[in-house]
Chain A
């Protein structure tokens, strides 16, 4: 008979081998293939929550909320294009492919964006009629895969976004697994139905930055220099990439940080490649300023933007506008607790569901299944997205007015402080309560 002990250590989980890590080891051992999933980095990263605004007081004076105007409009692409894009709010919808999302979801994005005077963006998979029809301002992506690429759609676009990379997977291409390659998707991409499609990570007809310059001119020639050309990069060596993109002739640069969502890629890619959005912005702004191009070539930032504070912080760090992907999907109804029972059946839970590549999204958004798609109403989805975009705008304006700014773009790094040493170093603003900017001043 064993003696009953009085003191016992409670079972302790390893911080290194935590439950999620161990379950992944078991899954890998079971299947022999890496984990593919959607969404962005899930680990904790230095982010905009680590920054705070210094509201006005004696040394600065604030603007009156609701009374004094705070401009939110922005013009994108007036460097070379005859018809730059005029946005009423500086929050755009990022490129998400038809294929990854249903045609109704794409339509809803167009409806929501148009209702508040902003733009939406196609994706890897071409332009759909639903989307063009409902989007007053549509940015057409020019991707390595060139699925569905054609000069007619190119001329229908209000801007062209040449995609060199995404924050979720800089250096990687796209994936769309067989379940989502329905007849319509297969036709638009010229692929056999049901294949596990890998889209290229590199453009097929140019390699270095000098080639890119010629490529941009080709696109301008084809569209008679009418519309702006953006270049989108995943955040890695942002300082150099931005310089090269400006040199290549971009009107607008889109920098997508590592928190940025994706429809599908390897988990190892999402979590281990790229730099946080907050760290990328000052690099991009420095590059633009050194070239005398800040505000002349506009900067759009994306990757983990959730609320008006994130928008205002991006702008204070020097962005001209932001783009949202994941948040827009959530606004439409993705990961809504009302589908909890079904998320459970898929081995997930509302809020954590990221198997968008499997095409079984209970919310009917990241799917091509006709039955699931029917659950999603594009008119209602559009209304919800427009509401959400309005809230982001009001929140950003609230913060700008508190800092005494009558235009969101008048926010500046001087309005910010950081809560942690890391975020102070990355955002290049002082640690709160000090005048210390790590990495900039001697300590």
Chain B
């Protein structure tokens, strides 16, 4: 066992080339600094985070092709603004997981709280359990695949990207959405303003097939899904729509 002095960060221990940070002994700050330091050095590309115990802001602002495994539950904003890295949480996450992600892959083995993938511009977020309310709120190009259900107001004002829900969706799905693509296998409690069901065409089956492949969910059949998107009735102010604004 050697202490990694490359990052001059005493919180890091390297075991067989894997950087390990034990949050029972070290701070979130030293974890994030060690991960950020890899942007220039790329000395260690595999990382293990032990004893996260629901702490907030784990592995935020990563900007390198790192593989990070968080062994336990994470708090708010885990993997926030992620670029390139592959972050796996072996537990549940709090609010705003992978918020504003740009690229890379974030995978939650458990469930995610509200605002998962909020405003995310790119990358792939996979939630193997359920997601809370406002999943994919205001998203701008990321892909989100949820094996379970999503809560109310998911994809609120979402602009671009894809949300796939293999379970059910809560109330007001896709309220005031722009050009995001939404696919749901189960029931939808209600659709939000300007969100309508749309025809599944071959290109949509293709899009889903490719997404399931990337998400590693080979047990889903794209043909079981319904598609939802914008009716584009609220894109410009019209008196007749006053009640919907």
Contact = CB atoms under 8 A, between A and B. Distances in A.
Interface stretch (B181-189, B206-214, B233-241): B233-241
B239 A218 contact: no
A33 B242 CA distance: 8
A222 interface: yes
B207 to A, nearest CB: 18
A196 B235 contact: yes
A214 B115 contact: no
B11 to A, nearest CB: 14
Contact of B81 (A32, A192, A211, A222): A222
Interface string A145-160: 1100111001000000
B119 A149 contact: yes
Contact of A205 (B56, B95, B102, B160): B95
B100 interface: yes
Given A32-B242, A195-B178, A218-B60, A206 B236 contact: no
Nearest to B176: A198
Interface string A183-227: 000000111101110101000111000010011011001111100
Given A31-B239, A145-B138, A218 B57 contact: yes
A171 interface: no
Contact of A151 (B102, B157, B235): B102
Nearest to B161: A190
Contacts of A413: none
A224 B57 CA distance: 12
A178 interface: yes
A200 B158 CA distance: 11
Of the listed residues A205, A217, A225, the one surrounded by the most CB atoms of chain B closer than 10 A to its CB is A205
> Per DSSP, are chain A's interface residues mostly helix, strand or loop, or mixed?
loop
B77 A214 contact: yes
B77 A196 contact: no
Contacts of B235: 178, 192, 194-196
A215 B178 CA distance: 26
B81 A204 contact: no
A221 B119 contact: no
Given A195-B235, A196-B236, A214-B76, A204 B115 contact: yes
Interface string B148-189: 000000001101100000000000000010110000000000
Instruction: State which size class the interface on B falls in.
Output: 35 or more
B91 interface: no
B140 interface: yes
Given A205-B118, A222-B80, A214 B33 contact: no
B147 interface: no
Nearest to B235: A195
Interface residues of A, number: 33
B52 interface: no
Contact of B60 (A196, A211, A221): A221
B118 A154 contact: no
A196 B121 CA distance: 21
Contact of B83 (A151, A195, A217): A151
A215 B140 CA distance: 20
Contact of A196 (B160, B237, B242): B237
Interface in B220-245: 235-237, 239, 242
B236 to A, nearest CB: 5
A222 B36 CA distance: 8
Contacts of B237: 33, 177, 196
B239 A32 contact: yes
A149 B156 CA distance: 18
B77 A178 contact: no
Contact of A33 (B36, B114, B140, B239): B239
A200 B176 CA distance: 11
A33 B178 CA distance: 22
Of the listed residues A217, A218, A225, the one surrounded by the most CB atoms of chain B closer than 10 A to its CB is A218
21 contacts: A31-B239, A32-B239, A149-B100, A149-B119, A151-B61, A151-B102, A154-B81, A190-B160, A191-B159, A196-B236, A204-B119, A204-B157, A205-B114, A206-B115, A214-B75, A218-B60, A218-B77, A221-B57, A221-B61, A222-B80, A225-B29
Given A198-B176, A215-B76, 8 more contacts: A32-B242, A150-B100, A190-B159, A192-B179, A205-B95, A211-B76, A218-B77, A224-B36
